[in-house]
Amino acid sequence: MTALDGIILAAIIVCMLVVGVTGKRRNKTTEDFFLAGRNLRWYQIGFSLFATNFSASALIGLTGAAYLTGIAIYNYEWVGILALVFFAIVLVSVVRGSQVFTLSEYLERRYDTRIKVLYSVFIIFLLVFIEMAGALYAGGLLLREVIPGLSMNFVIVLVMILAGIYSVLGGLNAISRTDTFQSIILIIGALFIAYYTLSASGGWDGFKSNASNRSLSLIRDLDDRAVPWAGLVIGIPILCTYFWMVNQNMVQWVLSANSESDARRGLMFVGFLKLSILFIIIIPGIAAVNLIPGLTEADHIYPALLMEYLPTGVLGVVLAGFVAALMSNTDSTLHAATTIITMDFVHRSSPEIPAGQLVKIGRLTTILIIGISALWAPMIGHFGTLFEYIQSVLSYAVAPFVVVYLGGIFWPRATSAGALAALISGFVTAVLIGILGDGMGLFYIHYLYVPLPVAIVSLTAFIITSKLTPQCAIETKLLWVNTRFGHISILDKAFAVILISLTFIQVFIFR
């Protein structure tokens, strides 16, 4: 990296910090600090969701996975777009209408405190040890490659401090401002990578002639390592449902929207942005197979592309985009975990604590989470590729909560005993599959095949136990009713139709 690249990188990082620490900083109420006063507009929500989704771990993980397996990894993205449309059209009115701070608060009101605690502990673990630690590991991996002599631990601590500064001071308002700026830098950086990679490959025609037909096919055989077609049908939809609808890190932006329409349009806006991922992230990974053959560690593909094909000056901008992705995921994840701990545990146990004191506790909690994630992040290097580490953990863990959450919204007869039985039976099933399969080697099961059997067992226990236990009175606003479709504007419905159409056209072309 040249001095010019370093100056550009430092200047953009300073701009991020300035954007984060300036502007509105009054956080007198918990709603101001944790949900930006519920005043975010659609473009702020969309950019924040995009920046949170395409973290440093996604950039490195998706590029590396594309290098190893081709375009099939994009199946996670287009199914995710369909999940976003479903969330926008069907669930937004319920989530917004409940007026909760967190999904765990929703689960407490829908079921009872036991379900809230189980979800809170579960989601904090995933946020801290999977999402944020994965992003920090990715950041350390790339920046260590680009700047020789830089240790991973130093990078991790530095990023946590930078993201923590404006997260602690400004809350979700500050995070939203920086996420908008970071998304733009991230997209510009990814466009540069795609342009120079394709140019080195001989343009689009050269790229297609060098790439194998299999690497450009979304639908794969049952023995495919990345996404066997059965896994696309039975596994990825459950994972995407969790990621976009049952993950506090994503749902907090919907809860912070100024209106239902802003929430819907923000979700669909990020869907339109996600359509570009195939070309600006996945395709460069496939092109690297011929440009940089023989790399045995897939997570090193992205840094190798940067170092080999980006000219001076451009490298600084792309590195800034990477750091932006790293910081945006870190700040959002920090805030999501902090909100759950502060509002679902501290506030519930001591409701007399004033709002100002809760904000201070939230800031201290943010600092604590920074330390824990920084300690765990270097351990991820022992788990194979970054993408497989994240997806395999989620495949075993998330299905029971998807069942309980969606079951509670759509089935009024669901009871708290049924929800508890669903969680316990689902977790036991996932552990047994892990022990008998990966642990004892009695059988091999692709991680994308795990969510469905876990979900079936969980759903069966959910229905049977709910039928056998008495039903309690449930607030109507916590349930889905089809009359809410009448409140969706024609424009929002048109956006949904266009987004779904473009998604299926893309899938058809690369089937």
Q: pLDDT, tens digit, for every residue of 247-282?
A: 888 898 898 999 999 999 999 999 999 999 999 989
CA angle 66, 69, 70 (to 5 degrees): 55
Residue 386, pLDDT above cutoff 80: no
30-34, 393-397, 451-455, 459-463: the lowest-pLDDT one: 30-34
CA distance 441 to 154: 39
Q: Is residue 354 within a helix (H) or strand (E), and if so which, with residue range?
A: none
Most distant pair of Cα atoms in the chain: their distance: 70
| Structure letter (DSSP) for residue 473 | P
pLDDT score for 268? 96
Q: What percent of the chain has pLDDT over 90?
A: 32
Confidence of residue 383 (pLDDT cuts 50, 70, 90): low
User: Which range is most confident: 80-94, 128-142, 214-228, 469-483?
Assistant: 80-94
pLDDT score for 374? 67
Q: Which residues contact 393 (CB under 8 A, 6 or more apart)?
A: 126, 130
| Mean pLDDT of the chain, nearest integer | 84
CA distance 422 to 393: 19
Rounded mean pLDDT of 395-415?
Answer: 94
Burial of 435 (0-12, 13-18, 19+ CB in 10 A): exposed
Rounded mean pLDDT of 427-439?
Answer: 86
Residue 373, pLDDT above cutoff 90: no
Rounded mean pLDDT of 151-164?
Answer: 71
Q: Which residue in 475, 468, 471 sits closest to 415, CA to CA? A: 471
Return the SS3 of 58.
Answer: helix
CA angle 138, 144, 145 (to 5 degrees): 95
Q: Is 37 left (phi over 0), alpha (psi -120 to 50) or beta?
A: left
Burial of 157 (0-12, 13-18, 19+ CB in 10 A): middle
pLDDT score for 56? 67
Q: And the tokens for 252?
A: 């907090």
CA distance 495 to 485: 15
pLDDT score for 341? 80
Q: And the tokens for 294?
A: 């023989």
pLDDT score for 225? 73
CA distance 88 to 266: 9
| Structure letter (DSSP) for residue 220 | B
Residue 196, pLDDT above cutoff 60: yes
Residue 83, pLDDT above cutoff 90: yes
pLDDT score for 286? 92
Return the SS3 of 257.
Answer: strand
Rounded mean pLDDT of 179-202?
Answer: 87
- Whole-model pTM: value is 0.87
DSSP H helical segments within 70-151, as ranges?
Answer: 75-86, 92-97, 103-110, 113-126, 133-146
Rounded mean pLDDT of 234-257?
Answer: 91
Domain ranges of the chain: 3-22+55-344+353-509
Amino acid identity of 343? M
Return the SS3 of 294.
Answer: coil
Residue 150, pLDDT above cutoff 80: no
Dihedral of the CA atoms 465, 469, 473, 478 (nearest 10)?
0
CATH, domain range 3-22+55-344+353-509: 1.20.1730.10
Residue 382, pLDDT above cutoff 70: no
pLDDT score for 122? 86
CA distance 292 to 307: 11
Burial of 204 (0-12, 13-18, 19+ CB in 10 A): exposed
pLDDT score for 385? 54
Residue 368, pLDDT above cutoff 70: yes
CA distance 394 to 396: 5
14-23, 471-480, 487-496: the lowest-pLDDT one: 14-23
Comparison of pLDDT for 19 and 219, the residue scoring more: 219
Confidence of residue 390 (pLDDT cuts 50, 70, 90): low
CA distance 431 to 425: 10
pLDDT score for 367? 73
Sign of CA pseudo-dihedral 228, 231, 233, 236: negative
CA distance 415 to 440: 36
Are 143 and 325 in contact, with CB atoms under 8 Å apart?
no
Q: And the tokens for 21?
A: 């620490």
Residue 426, pLDDT above cutoff 90: yes
pLDDT score for 244? 93
Q: Which residue in 80, 87, 88 sits closest to 278, CA to CA? A: 80
pLDDT score for 14? 85
